[in-house]
Chain A
Amino acid sequence: MGGKAILFVVLGFSLTFLVIGQNFNRVTLKATDNMTNYANVQISHNIALTGANISCNAFYLDPNWTAGYSNVSCQGGTYTVTYQLMDAVKLIKRITSISTFQGFNGYSLNTYHDTVIVTFQPSRFSRYAYYSTSEGGTIYWATGDTVKGPLQTQDYLRVSGNPVFLGMVGTKLGVIKKNGSSDHPQFLGGLLTGSDVPINSSGVSSVETFALANGFEFAGHDTVYLNFKGDSLKYRYAWNTKDTTKLISTMVPNGVLFVKNGTARIRGTVKGQLTLGCSYVSKGGSVYLDSSITYNTNPITTPSSTDILGVVTQNNFIIEDNKANSNNVAIQGSIYCQTGSFTADNYSTRAYCGYINLLGGIVQATRGAVGIIGGGGTITNGFSKNYSYDRRFMFSAPPNFPNTGAYNVISWYE
């Protein structure tokens, strides 16, 4: 009898400990499961991210990359990347990276997937607030200068004091500080040294191609006077002749206007999206600003404005030395000078003309001058600068504006 009782006691205790042990194990396992599940999700996410980043690098090295990846081993799992052309006209491309990772959660082996989707668009020079191939000798960005958008130079970026750069700054050759360690440039959008974005040497010719396709080309004229009047365009071929007026939408369906082997002289108010190209074959190739050129709807006061202007010149964009430009001048658009500069005519001898109120960006081969600084540190001749970046250029571009040959990310889903 005593033996049986002891047996029951032992069995009873064993059962009690088993139940308690089971409870402890359950709680411990759940805690571990919770942790491993979080870790597995993170690993799966990292694998998908790795696939996306490697694909971005492939795009960077070869903008025509379409191959994708299939079941590439990574961090104990695999990723598969597929390529998709979203918009054949705008060349919007997309890659989708999907990870597969098997990890234990509890007693079972679970499969985890994560997805990263990256959308690219062709990078156009209009996205730069400022671009130069050469900084034109030893011109410095100095205290008081503020650049509000992306900046790229193929030269050294020369700084003096504390200039502020709000957008991403890229310089191929590096940064030179005039005063050494006492200079503190503010790169608030980041700094990329070694960044190489050569100017598009076929930018002007590509604009001409589109003008011939479904736009309009002026050919055989030394000078074309273009006066933008909102929906309409008034043009003539000599200063003392009468204007011809046409509706821009019917004259230039794709928004690309071109002056071949001549000089364009522009002024007025632009409505809609327009790119003006100007080429040099044996003469011309420059655009002169006869008077301010602005948008019909100002994007500063009306952010939903769809008015966008691009000027693509073979040589220079020159602010004419005339009465209309003698007391401030407004330029709204992105200016692209393939081999020349953005400059002011007679900048060193003309009187002080107030401010260049630019809303847009300047892309130039060589940094040009628009004024002269006197001994007192103020502008004595030419123009002071009041440059603002049109942030719409981060995503939008004038029609068929020259591209950089690369792509930039416009959307990242993870």
Chain B
Amino acid sequence: MGYATLIDIVGSIIIGGMMLGIILKLSNTASWNVYSNSGELNCQTNLAGMSLMLENDFRKIDYCADYTNIQDPANAIIAADSTSIKFISDVNKVGGMDTIYYYLGPATELNSTANPRDKILYRIVNHDAKMGSDAGITRFYMVYYNAMGDTIHTPVSSTDLPLINDIELNMNIENITIDSSLANSYWRQARLTVPNIKNR
């Protein structure tokens, strides 16, 4: 075994080590990117799912499958604040009116998550147990407008509730990714028109 063989072995170790290092680095970077992109994907998926649910519910305010049970549009929205709303709708399309209550819980409910700002958006139908969604929502707020497009101040007083004509919905979802960076998705339904409360 001469110098040439020794140099071959040392060279192989160095080159092999470099290649191994490159592969490990590549694997590591790939994992980070996959997690990071997955975080973005989760954020976006949650946002799309939540917005579809909200649109579906809000468009049906005061709807009833049995038209004889339709309530006075002036009483369709029972309570409205910037982060909560209670209204009536025939949720399951069975001909009876249900009460739906959306509200955003406090951030302290989710102390165990990495994001200190995320909150649970609750949806309560009638007197059922509250159903919360921890989708990484950090902001959920509504703006109410009358028929002339003027903003109605929140919390909406009982005398102003019948004046609600359009609703602006805003939602922000965040997801803390593996490197502590923030995946952020924002959705706004600038003017959600509720057809059934326009009959006035």
Contact = CB atoms under 8 A, between A and B. Distances in A.
Interface of A: 9, 16, 20, 23-24, 27-28, 30-31, 34-35, 37-38, 41, 86, 92, 119, 121, 149-150, 166-168, 187-191, 391-392, 394-395, 408-414
Interface in B20-68: 23, 26-27, 30, 33-34, 37-38, 40-41, 44-45, 48, 51-52, 59-60, 63-65, 67
B70 interface: yes
Given A24-B37, A411-B196, A37 B163 contact: no
B124 to A, nearest CB: 22
A408 B74 contact: no
Given A31-B41, A409-B195, A189 B33 contact: no
Contact of B40 (A31, A119, A121): A31
B72 A395 contact: yes
Nearest to B48: A38
Contacts of A167: 200
Contacts of A395: 70, 72
A187 B52 contact: no
A188 B23 CA distance: 68
Nearest to A408: B199
B34 A119 contact: no
14 contacts: A28-B37, A31-B37, A34-B44, A37-B48, A119-B67, A188-B146, A188-B147, A394-B72, A394-B73, A409-B195, A409-B199, A412-B195, A413-B93, A414-B195
A149 B199 CA distance: 11
Interface of B: 19, 23, 26-27, 30, 33-34, 37-38, 40-41, 44-45, 48, 51-52, 59-60, 63-65, 67, 70, 72-74, 93, 146-148, 162-163, 165, 195-196, 199-200
A316 to B, nearest CB: 29
Contact of B200 (A20, A31, A150, A410): A150
Contact of A412 (B23, B26, B40, B63): B63
A27 B52 CA distance: 21
A414 B34 contact: no
B30 A23 contact: yes
A16 B23 contact: yes
A119 B64 CA distance: 11
Contacts of A411: 63-64, 67, 70, 196
Given A23-B34, A24-B34, A92-B67, A190 B44 contact: no
Nearest to A39: B48
A410 B199 contact: yes
A119 to B, nearest CB: 5
B13 to A, nearest CB: 14
A34 B185 CA distance: 13
A149 B73 CA distance: 12
Contacts of B72: 391-392, 394-395
Contacts of A188: 146-148, 163
**4 nearest CB pairs, A to B:** A412-B195, A190-B147, A27-B37, A20-B30
Nearest to A30: B41
Contacts of B45: 30, 34
Contacts of B34: 23-24, 27
A165 to B, nearest CB: 10
A413 B38 contact: no
B19 A9 contact: yes
